[in-house]
Amino acid sequence: MIIAILAPLLVACFIPLLSKIKHRVHTGFFVLLVPLSIFTYFVTFVGRDFSTQLQVTKWIPSLDINFSLYLDGLSLLFVLLITGIGSLVVLYSIYYLDRSERLDQFYVYLLMFMTAMLGVVLSDNIFVLYTFWELTSISSFLLIGYWHYKERSRYGALKSMLITVFGGLSMFGGFVLLYVVTGTTSIQDMIAHPEIVWNSAYLPLILAFILLGAFTKSAQFPFHIWLPDAMEAPTPVSAYLHSATMVKAGLFLIARFSPLLSASEWFYIVVTSVGVITLCWGSYMAVRQTDLKAILAFSTISQLGMIMAMFGFGTKIAIFAAVFHILNHATFKGSLFMIAGIIDHETGTRDIRKLGGLATIMPIAATLTVLGTFSMAGIPLPFLNGFYSKELFIDSALHLEGGMSTIASMLTAAIPYLVVFGSIFTFVYSMYFLFGIFTGKHKADQLPKPAHEAPFGMLLPPIILITGVVVIGLFPNLVNGTLLNHAQSAVGNTLYDVEKIKFWHGWDAPAFQVTLLIISVGIALYLTRKKWQHIYNALPGSFSFNRVYDALIKQLDRTSEKITNAYMTGSLRLYMTIIIAAIIVVTTTVMMVTDGFVVKFDNLADVSVLELVVAGVMVVAAVWTIFTNHKLAAILITGVVGYGVAILFILYRAPDLALTQLVIETVSVALFLLAFYHLPQLQKRDDSTGSKIVNATISIGFGALVAMIGIAAHSSSGFAPISDYFIKTSHTLGGGDNIVNVILVDMRGLDTLFEITVLGIAALAIYSLIKLRNDKEAE
């Protein structure tokens, strides 16, 4: 299995080599072999006596992340869809994409996506699943933006990326929680002991996170907005990713985790209501669209909502119907997308207002569309698969049992009406799609190209898919025992009696009566479409979730810009204020919390008058620097402070320090005089009183903090200094009597080396600052 999963990725590595010969042979023909052979490989698993397979390859064993692949009925169904429809899509793309396009990129992305999708459905390890999940988002992003020179493509790609990655990250959060709760990374191990998750306090959180991931990926309300914009992708991509495979990844996730999560009643409430609302909103909005692919996009949203709702129902029939409809939807929706692409390809437009009367010009496409749309609408004809799953859906919606809580029972009561509403609009948009294209007046003058039937190669994939529609329609129990029942038991652990699927249940079967109601109201609504279409001006009117998304993105941009501009003003004073204020706040808090402010008066040196006088002079000089407005005075009083320090050094028995301080202070004052001579005069400080107060508070606060730390450090008993060692060994080891100098050049000589380096660098920098001039000055 692992080879089957990674094969597309491996082949993708070699595709760029093929582009050299793409003008003779379309790259797609080489690619076609890949999904076809994987499909053949997996078809051999299908059968009544199917048993699950587990295959483990070590990846990061220390983190319990292993490349474990698990094949059960549900994954098998998805794998067959992915590779089967993948093959058809590749075949279709051979005729759809011209050889002048960047084919190698297209097929690299497509194969990357195929690997990702196979990985999602086959992974047993949650973190591997997540890895592949994000790979589908990335490859979908690349495919939507395939025609990157179009602004709409880039917009659509970014939007789908943001929304699906948002959901993916949320899902990752859910997975991490699951791992924390269960202690295993294997989904099957989790399902083997579901009560651990059921009894966990984190269940609501896990549920919310995983559902968010599933809803965003499967374009559920209100996260559906990325799907219509993803229609900017080439049509094979729309047909493959955005109808048959990737958008069903969310459904797969729900199905895969429902044994764990459906214990919570909120699973029923949230999944069902989101699914039903998506069904209604999607089908309602589809009638409003004028672009063929947009109609199909909203139709996909609506059908995904329907399947999601069935997983929410969780009854035996519902789960079977959901699995059945996943298969059915993939067949008819894939073919309808391909037909939309054919029409676009052969007439040059996808605008339904410009199309019409194509039935006689494109008879094969018209026949296929009739079968596809009738199947989508659920019309009771014994050769359409859509009808069976639709009827099962209505049946399950009618026979729901109310939940424990009030919300759940209210929901149960409302579901049948919503389902009927959604189904009526499903009927309307299916007819709108079919008749809008193929009947009515042919508007040849509005078409960019004269319409004609597509080449056979392009028609072949939809023909195969529609054949699937009809075959399953004629023999609805054909794949039940061999495939669908295994899928169903993987989800619900229960089996639906397969023999019940038949076309005719009699006139008094409730689901059939509801179907008749849906069709008659649907016909009436379709015929009077022009009369009621203005209700779209009232609802949604100018409101749409796209606007919410756009406004949100814009607001995020604007708010972050505002925040940044508020503190990144370019004013060094402000930064300085913030830095020092932060130091004061943090340090003071820490000192307060740890009772750090200790004052003890023992063990102090005695106070002498001389020191007090020197200190007093220094204080006066230091404060004076603030108030003087005279350049020379400022330099001289700074010098006074420096000499004061030197005197203190003398008093405190530091002869070397005093010497250095005196020399350096003198040189400094000389330097100051030299430099200040060239600097502008000191100006009066024209600050407002407010900023003066802020500055004063900050500086007094910081000074007080430093003094307090000094006192507190002095008052706390630490440990004995290590200086005794220096004093003892200065002569014996260092060979000198001046201990400070021995420390500087012998014991801690490295400090001195780099201090010399600092001086050297400073000197070089000063030299270059003065000597190197820019061009303007050189002239």
Q: Which is nearer to another protein, 225 or 634 (CB)?
A: 634
Q: Which is nearer to another protein, 375 or 661 (CB)?
A: 661
Smallest gap from Cβ 759 to another protein, in A, equals 5
Structure tokens at 164: 């699906």
Smallest gap from Cβ 8 to another protein, in A, equals 43
Smallest gap from Cβ 597 to another protein, in A, equals 13
Q: Which is nearer to another protein, 25 or 706 (CB)?
A: 706
Smallest gap from Cβ 746 to another protein, in A, equals 11
- For 105, residues 6+ apart whose C-beta sits below 8 A from its C-beta are 146
Q: Which is nearer to another protein, 475 or 597 (CB)?
A: 597
Q: Which is nearer to another protein, 346 or 665 (CB)?
A: 665
**Which secondary structure element, helix H or strand E, spans residue 56, and what is its range?**
strand 53-60
Beta bridge partners of 71: 53
User: Measuring CA to CA, how many Å separate 9 from each of 15, 37, 718?
Assistant: 10, 14, 64
Exposed/middle/buried for 223, CB within 10 Å: 0-12, 13-18, 19+?
Answer: buried
Evaluate the CA torsion angle 474, 477, 483, 489 in order and state its sign. positive
- For 779, residues 6+ apart whose C-beta sits below 8 A from its C-beta are none
Smallest gap from Cβ 640 to another protein, in A, equals 11
| Residue recorded with tokens 């459904």 | 251
Instruction: Report how far residue 371's alpha carbon sits from residue 375's, in angstroms, rounded to the nearest whole number.
Output: 6
Q: Which is nearer to another protein, 263 or 709 (CB)?
A: 709
Residue 269 amino acid letter: I
Q: Which is nearer to another protein, 517 or 708 (CB)?
A: 708
Determine the Cα angle at 156 with ends 152 and 158, to 5°: 120
Q: Are 705 and 592 in contact (CB under 8 A)?
A: no
Helix extents (H) in 543-681:
545-567, 572-593, 609-627, 631-651, 655-678
Q: Which is nearer to another protein, 551 or 663 (CB)?
A: 663
**If DSSP states are collapsed to H, E and C, what string results for 266-303?**
HHHHHHHHHHHHHHHHHHHHHCCCCEHHHHHHHHHHHH
Q: Calculate the dihedral angle through the C-alpha atoms of 732, 733, 734, 740, rounding to the nearest 10 degrees.
A: -80
What's the maximum distance between 2 C-alpha atoms anywhere in the chain? 117
Smallest gap from Cβ 587 to another protein, in A, equals 13
Smallest gap from Cβ 321 to another protein, in A, equals 58
Smallest gap from Cβ 728 to another protein, in A, equals 10
Q: Which is nearer to another protein, 595 or 602 (CB)?
A: 602
Nearest to 701 by CA among 689, 711, 693, 691: 693
Smallest gap from Cβ 778 to another protein, in A, equals 13
Q: Are 119 and 252 in contact (CB under 8 A)?
A: no
Q: Which is nearer to another protein, 509 or 707 (CB)?
A: 707
Smallest gap from Cβ 407 to another protein, in A, equals 50
Q: What is the CA radius of gyration of the chain?
A: 38
